[in-house]
Amino acid sequence: MGMHMEKGRVRIVDIADELGLSTATVSNVIHGKTKKISGETVKRVQELLEKKGYIPNMAGILLAQNNSRIVGIIINNHEKYENHVLEDAFISASLNALAGELDKAGYFMMVRVTAQWREIAKVASMWNMEGLVLIGFCEQDYKKLRESMHIPFVVYDGYFQETRGICNLVIDNYDGGYQAGAYLKKMGHKKALCVADNDICMDRERIEGFREGMKGCRADFWQMPMARDARRKFYEEKWEEVTKYTAIFAVSDLYAMEWIYFLQGKGIRIPEEISVIGFDDSPWCEKIYPPLTSIRQDGGERAAKAISILQELKTGGCGEAVVTFPVRLVERGSVGKGPDAYAET
C-alpha cells in the first residue's frame, strides 16, 4: 500500500499504518515521550519519519502546551519610521541580539510590528506566548497592560512609574548626551547645536545631558520634522543658520549622517568647519566619510538581561524594576577641534 499524502505533508496516520502501530505511539515518539515504548519501536518510527521527510506541525504542538517557548518582540510602528521600522539601525541591532539570546535559551521568536497598543494583550494570548519584549512604546499605560494579562514582559526604554511585575531596561541617555557635550567642549567648541525630532522621553534626557556637558558654552536645540521629505526642506531652510555653529549633536546616527551628507553637499568640510556626533554607534558609523563619532550602547548586554529577567518573572521573581545600561563615546573622525582650541595653542 502506498503512502497517502495530504497537501504534500506526511501524516502521522500514514506512518502508523505502514509500521502497524497506533497513531498514539507514533505521536509519542515525535514528542519525545518514549519511556513506555521499546527502543526497537522508537528506532523503527524515527527511521521511517526521517525516510519520509516528516515535518512536525510545531505551531500546533507549541500552542497546545503550557510552555509554548514563544517570546513575542512587539515593536512600535511609529510614524517617524514611515513603515520601515525594521530597517532602523537600533531596531535591527536589537532584534539581532534578541534572536541570538532567545535561540541560546531554547525559545522561538515571534516579531510583531504594530502601532496598536491595545492589540498587544490579544496577540500575546492568541499565540500563547511565554513572554514579551516591548520596544519603542514610550509613554504608554504599562500599568494597565500589566493588569490585563498574566504573561511576563520587559520593556525597552519605557517611561512610566515603577510597576510591580514589569522590568524597564533603559540606557543612560542623560549620560550619553553629557558625554557628547563634554567631549565637544573639551575639543574647543563653544557654540553647538542639538537636533532631534521630539523633546520627550529619551530624546529629552539626551538633550538635557548634552546641555549640562556643554555648561558655560552655548548649546541650542532644534526640533526637526519626522517625515524625511520635510526634513530635507528643513535642512535647506536652516542652511545659513547652521553655519553659525561649529558642532552638531544628533540624537541618532541617522540624523547625524543626514546632516553630514547635506553639509558636504554644500561644500562644508567635516570636521574642519563643522563637527558632528551621533548616538547608538550603528554599523554605518564606520562606513561613511568621515567615520562618525557616536555614543555606543551595548545591544547584546541588554538582550541577555531581557531574556534572563523574563525567566525570573515567569517564576514570580525579579527584584529589579529598572535596569540602566551604561553608554560610552566612541571617537572617530567626524569631530575636530573647535576654533577656540586653535586659539589656545
Angle at 118 between CA 112 and CA 124, to 5 degrees: 50
Helix (H, G, I), strand (E, B) or coil at 293: strand
Asked if the structure places residue 95 within a domain, the reply is yes
Cell numbers placing 343: 586659539
Does 3 have pLDDT greater than 60?
no
Query: Do residues 209 and 310 share a domain?
Result: no
Structural contact between residues 134 and 153, judged by C-beta atoms closer than 8 angstroms = yes
Per-residue pLDDT, averaged over 212-237, amounts to: 95
11 belongs to a structural domain: yes
Most confident of 4-8, 164-168, 242-246: 242-246
Residue 146 domain-assigned?
yes
Look over the chain and give the mean of its residue pLDDT values, rounded to a whole number: 90
Domain count for the chain, please give it. 3
Residue 61 falls within a domain, yes or no?
no
Based on the domain organization, do 157 and 281 belong to the same domain? no
Which residues, including other chains, have CB under 8 Å from residue 316's CB and lie 6 or more apart? none
What is the residue whose three cell numbers read 511576563?
Answer: 152
User: Does the residue 226 lie in any domain?
Assistant: yes
Establish if 65 belongs to a structural domain: no
Span 311-340, pLDDT tens digits: 888 887 766 789 999 999 999 999 999 876
pLDDT surpasses 70 at 345: no
Q: Are 180 and 275 contained in the same domain? A: yes
Regarding whether 290 and 199 lie in a shared domain, the answer is yes
Q: Which one of 6-20, 31-45, 159-173, 203-217 scores highest in mean pLDDT?
A: 203-217
Structural domain range at position 284: 174-296+330-344
Residues 329, 182: contact at Cβ < 8 Å?
Answer: no
**Residue type for 151, please?**
I
Reduced to 3 DSSP states, what percent helix, strand and coil does the chain have, rounded to the nearest 5? 45, 20, 35
Kindly state whether residues 222 and 184 are assigned to the same domain: yes
C-alpha cell at 275: 563637527
Identify the band that residue 341 occupies on the pLDDT scale cut at 50, 70 and 90.
Answer: low
Q: Please state the rounded mean pLDDT for residues 267-282.
A: 96
Q: Give the range among 139-148, 182-191, 293-302, 314-323 with minimum mean pLDDT.
A: 314-323
Percentage with pLDDT > 90 across the chain: 67
Residue 5: its pLDDT value, please? 45
Q: What is the mean pLDDT of residues 3-31?
A: 81
pLDDT, tens digit, for every residue of 291-300?
999 999 999 9
Q: What is the pLDDT of residue 50?
A: 87
Q: Is 133's pLDDT higher than 90?
A: yes
125 in a structural domain: yes
Is 306 in the same domain as 337?
no
Which range (2-16, 89-103, 106-120, 124-138) has the least confidence?
Answer: 2-16
Distance, in Å, from the CA atom of 198 to the CA atom of 176, rounded to the nearest integer, reads 17
Mean pLDDT within 164-181:
94
- What pLDDT does residue 2 have? 47
| 288 and 318 fall within a common domain | no
Residues 85, 46 share a domain: no
Question: Is the same domain home to 188 and 236?
Answer: yes
0.75 cut: is pTM over it?
yes
- CATH number of the domain within which 15 lies: 1.10.260.40
* pLDDT band, residue 343 (cuts 50/70/90): very low
Give the per-residue pLDDT at 10: 83
Tell me the per-residue pLDDT of 64-82, one tens digit each, with 9 for 90 and over: 666 778 999 999 998 888 8
pLDDT in tens, 237-261: 999 999 999 999 999 999 999 999 9
CATH number of the domain to which 220 belongs: 3.40.50.2300
Report in angstroms the alpha-carbon separations of 133 from 26, 49, 90, 138. Answer: 36, 36, 15, 13
Tell me, yes or no, whether 180 and 278 share the same domain.
yes
Could you tell me if 125 and 273 lie in one domain? no
Q: Could you tell me if 337 and 230 lie in one domain?
A: yes
Residue 100 is assigned to a structural domain of this protein: yes
Burial class (CB in 10 A: 0-12, 13-18, 19+), 13: middle
Which whole number is the average pLDDT over 151-166? 88
Residue 4 has pLDDT above 60, yes or no: no
Mean pLDDT for the stretch of residues 124-128? 87
- With 60 as the cut, is the pLDDT of residue 48 above it? yes
